[in-house]
Amino acid sequence: MKLIKVPTSKDSYNIVITNTFDYLHKYLIELGIKDKKVCIITDDNVCDLYLEKIIEILSVITDKVSYLVIPHGENNKNLDTISSIYNKLINDNIDRDSYLIALGGGVTGDMVGYASATYMRGNHFIQIPTTLLSQVDSSIGGKTGVDFNGYKNIIGAFHQPKLVYINTNTLLTLPKKEVNAGMGEIIKHGLIASKEYYNFIRDNKLKINNLDEEIMEELIYESCLIKSNVVSQDEKEKGIRATLNFGHTIGHAVERLLDFQLLHGECVALGMVSASYLSYMLNQVSLEELEDIKQCIGDFNLPIRINTLDEIKIYNELFYDKKTKNNILNMILLNGIGVCEIRNDIDKEKIVAAIKYIL
Ligand SMILES: NC(=O)c1ccc[n+]([C@@H]2O[C@H](COP(=O)([O-])OP(=O)(O)OC[C@H]3O[C@@H](n4cnc5c(N)ncnc54)[C@H](O)[C@@H]3O)[C@@H](O)[C@H]2O)c1
Ligand SMILES: [Zn+2]
């Protein structure tokens, strides 16, 4: 078992990384949940897998446990689902002292976090992430929200969880494609923050692909450490947090143009190849490093090329990103593997060439 304490502006919370739910009881008691009202919210895929176990653990701590099952998927990440959560909370007399538990992937975590941020001006919430992406990315950092009118995560709030409890064995039931998509964000963490961690990922590809217990615990721990370190330096995304967008500027454009047919992590993989090539053109990454990055991304069955789009379409789409302000493109570039920088002075010509590289 591994533990990370994440400081926040008001408080701090633990991220527990282990291969069982056996320690959940201990951490819930530590939070002071005894006899409190708790509402578990999960989706209709995850409920059959893990809900019963979580209810069983909670029922020893409090007899005021309820649950709600919401429909899975990004299409249901909207205010209608939030409304169904609010209704449930009102019906169950959930109050400001109560705890919501998000059991599931990033869609569930983002929505439960948002409901918790806004219901009665905020109560407590706990993340039990069950996808690789949610374990290393969305459950950490307090960004919560929903999509609205086709705009992703356009409605939201910053609201920090009280606990993130990761059971790595939940990945055994996750479709392989979703595991690979999570690897996109994990490789990103290595590329932007630690060459040593990047090498660890590359050198353990077989064990990772087989979900080896020991390696997965180490992998997820190191990734959570990088993400939590960045977000606790910049809780509200005013500076360094933007480095987590490495691969995302072009990745998001591809994601939107393909109408979300590729998974987010797959689009980030394409974006990372393009941004690495841009770094290579600027002599910040060697040819050897560029080839190594492509190989590593490919080793996890993530795409390094896409042939159904054209470079100008993708370039124009970059300006529709909600993070592009005043038509200035912020590109996250590498300065060798493990070091990154934010640049807003790159010529159109070079950016177009970098996009062309993945087509
Ligand atoms: N808040 C943040 O900082 C942040 C960061 C990155 C991504 N996100 C958000 O995260 C969301 C994506 O999260 P995701 O990739 O976890 O998607 P998801 O929540 O849709 O989960 C993917 C699929 O896996 C299923 N599932 C979940 N756990 C499972 C398990 N253990 N076994 C079998 N099936 C399981 C789900 O039902 C779903 O069908 C997006 O909405 C994105 O905007 C948020
Ligand atoms: Zn991402």
Q: What is the 3-state secondary structure (H, E, C) of the chain?
A: CEEEEEECCCCEEEEEEECCCCCHHHHHHHHCCCCCCEEEEEECCCHHHHHHHHHHHHHCCCCCEEEEEECCCHHHCCHHHHHHHHHHHHHCCCCCCCEEEEEECHHHHHHHHHHHHHHHHCCEEEEEECCHHHHHHHCCCCEEEEEECCEEEEEEEECCCCEEEEEHHHHHHCCHHHHHHHHHHHHHHHHHHCHHHHHHHHHCHHHHHCCCHHHHHHHHHHHHHHHHHHHHHCCCCCCHHHHHHCCHHHHHHHHHHCCCCCCHHHHHHHHHHHHHHHHHHCCCCCHHHHHHHHHHHHHCCCCCCCCCCCHHHHHHHHCCCCCCECCECCEEEECCCCCEEEECCCCHHHHHHHHHCCC
> Distance, CA 288 to ligand 2 centroid (Å)?
26
Q: Say if ligand 1 is within 6 A of residue 176 CB.
A: no
Q: Give me the catalytic one of 143, 159, 162, 294.
A: 143
| Structure confidence at residue 326 (pLDDT) | 78
| Structure confidence at residue 150 (pLDDT) | 85
Tell me the best of 132, 134, 180 to mutate to test the pocket of ligand 1, counting ligand atoms within 8 Å of each CB and taking the most: 134
Q: What is the pLDDT of residues 200-229, one digit of tens each?
A: 999 999 999 999 999 999 999 999 999 999
| Structure confidence at residue 72 (pLDDT) | 98
Q: Where are the domains of the chain?
A: 2-173, 180-356
> Distance, CA 349 to ligand 1 centroid (Å)?
36
Ligand nearest to the CA of 184: 2
Fold agreement (2-173, 180-356) = no
> Distance, CA 76 to ligand 1 centroid (Å)?
12
Note the pTM of the prediction, 2 decimals.
Answer: 0.97
* 152 carries an active-site annotation: no
* 248 carries an active-site annotation: yes
Q: Say if ligand 1 is within 6 A of residue 218 CB.
A: no
Minimum-distance ligand 1 atom for the alpha carbon of 50 = 31
Class of domain 2-173: alpha beta
* 72 carries an active-site annotation: no
Ligand nearest to the CA of 71: 1
Tell me the best of 138, 152, 234 to mutate to test the pocket of ligand 1, counting ligand atoms within 8 Å of each CB and taking the most: 138
> Distance, CA 268 to ligand 2 centroid (Å)?
7
| Structure confidence at residue 235 (pLDDT) | 87
Q: What is the pLDDT of residues 65-114, one digit of tens each?
A: 999 999 999 999 999 999 999 999 999 999 999 999 999 999 999 999 99
Q: Say if ligand 1 is within 6 A of residue 321 CB.
A: no
State the 10-residue block means of pLDDT for the chain, 359 residues long. 95 97 98 97 98 98 98 97 98 98 98 98 98 98 95 95 98 98 98 98 98 98 97 88 95 94 97 98 98 98 94 94 81 97 94 97
| Structure confidence at residue 209 (pLDDT) | 97
* 185 carries an active-site annotation: yes
> Distance, CA 184 to ligand 2 centroid (Å)?
8
* 88 carries an active-site annotation: no
Class of domain 180-356: mainly alpha
> Distance, CA 190 to ligand 1 centroid (Å)?
21
Ligand nearest to the CA of 244: 2
Q: Say if ligand 1 is within 6 A of residue 108 CB.
A: yes
Q: Say if ligand 1 is within 6 A of residue 169 CB.
A: no
| Structure confidence at residue 320 (pLDDT) | 84
Q: What is the pLDDT of residues 271-284, one digit of tens each?
A: 999 999 999 999 99
* 202 carries an active-site annotation: no
